[in-house]
Amino acid sequence: MTHLSQEGAVQELAIVTGRSGAGRSTAISALEDVGFEAIDNVPCSLVPRLFEGRPPGEPLALGIDTRSRGFSTAELLDLLERIETDPSCHAQLIFLDCSETALMRRFSETRRRHPFDRGGLLQDSLRQEKRLLAPLRARADVLIDTSEMTPGELRKQIARWFGREGRVPMEVNVLSFSYKRGLPLGADLVIDCRFLDNPHWQAALRARDGQDAEVAAFVAADPRHAAFMKHLQALFELLLPAYREEGRAYLTLAFGCTGGRHRSVAVAAEVAQALGRSGWPVMLCHRDLDRMARVPGADMEASP
């Protein structure tokens, strides 16, 4: 691999790949907006040539996926391995993932053909591509699950993680979810809140959610709650600085309960507020309430 820069300068490189329909084109465009020189649909065989005689300068983003000419998972993994041996390049593999349900909805809405479509079922094409890309997903430096994201939300995430102006070392994404709908993809730490008293069994609270003050108070009244929060605080005080020192751009903390409506929502909100007061940039998302929430004092974007 030709050195990507001279005189000790380091070339920043982002390789963006992922499942068709997961938002790769949006991510490439967002990287271009924050100062990356972006080239999409690059064949792996041409990547080394892009750096021949190239002086260090703007960071570079390359889009490579199953639509790229001559795409090969093995070839892309080999390329990444060779890049890692070059001290003049700092490269990250960004993988865009998405649930099968969301992908089927997106392809149906846009009426686009999946690149693996040979006249069969869309579900079969999605699963074939998923198997092909599994080694790249496992290798990814940054894994972004766009199942619950709009294109605008994905752009904001890319800007926060890779924008150079005002960039923070690490953002903490705090997420509540329902175990009935499955574990969230890309979660770094998953905390089970199902041991706490469940407001669902209180007729006056059942129709509300964990953002309601009375529901949150009911959850906090569980005798185990105070000790639980104390241990979580100690755990995060230990782990978050360590993850930041490792160079992580973001960390996702996921809190789950049975329905994703009461206990996990209340605990996630309480944790997010505590982290925000401690100075961490925090994004709070209640996945199964289908809306975002703002954390007072935290540097965070929200949607209605």
* Long-range CB contacts (within 8 A, 24+) of 34-41: 34/158, 34/159, 34/162, 34/163, 34/164, 34/165, 35/59, 35/163, 35/164, 36/60, 36/61, 36/162, 37/61, 38/62, 38/63, 39/63, 41/65, 41/67, 41/68, 41/69
Which residue did the predictor score with more confidence, 259 or 68? Answer: 259
Which residue did the predictor score with more confidence, 222 or 72? Answer: 222
CA dist., res. 186 & res. 246, Å (int): 17
The residue extents of the domains of the chain are 11-162, 171-293
Which residue did the predictor score with more confidence, 299 or 87? Answer: 87
What's the pLDDT band for 247 if we cut at 50, 70, 90?
low
Please state the CATH superfamily assignment of the domain spanning residues 11-162 in this structure: P-loop containing nucleotide triphosphate hydrolases (3.40.50.300)
What's the pLDDT band for 228 if we cut at 50, 70, 90?
very high
3-state DSSP call for residue 157?
helix
C-alpha separations of 231 from 167, 176, 193, 221, 292 in Å: 30, 18, 13, 17, 26
| Average pLDDT of the segment spanning 142-161 | 86
| Percent of the chain whose pLDDT exceeds 90 | 42
Tell me the two tokens of residue 4. Answer: 């990507």
Residues facing residue 33 across a β-bridge: none
pLDDT value of residue 164 = 60
pLDDT value of residue 169 = 57
The answer on pLDDT for 3 being more than 50 is no
End-to-end CA distance of the chain: 47
Q: Can you state the angle between helices 122-139 and 100-110, rounded to 10 degrees?
A: 120
Q: How far out from the chain centre does Cα 85 lie? A: 26
Whose CA is closest to 44, among 71, 26, 21, 67? 71
Mean pLDDT (the chain) is 84
The answer on pLDDT for 167 being more than 60 is no
With 0-12 / 13-18 / 19 or more C-beta atoms within 10 angstroms meaning exposed / middle / buried, residue 51 is: buried
| Average pLDDT of the segment spanning 186-197 | 95
Asked if residues 298 and 219 have their Cβ atoms less than 8 Å apart, the reply is no
pTM of the model: 0.56
CA dist., res. 189 & res. 151, Å (int): 25
Which of 14-18, 83-87, 292-296 shows the highest mean pLDDT?
A: 14-18
CA dihedral 50, 54, 58, 63 (to 10 degrees): 10
What's the pLDDT band for 170 if we cut at 50, 70, 90?
confident
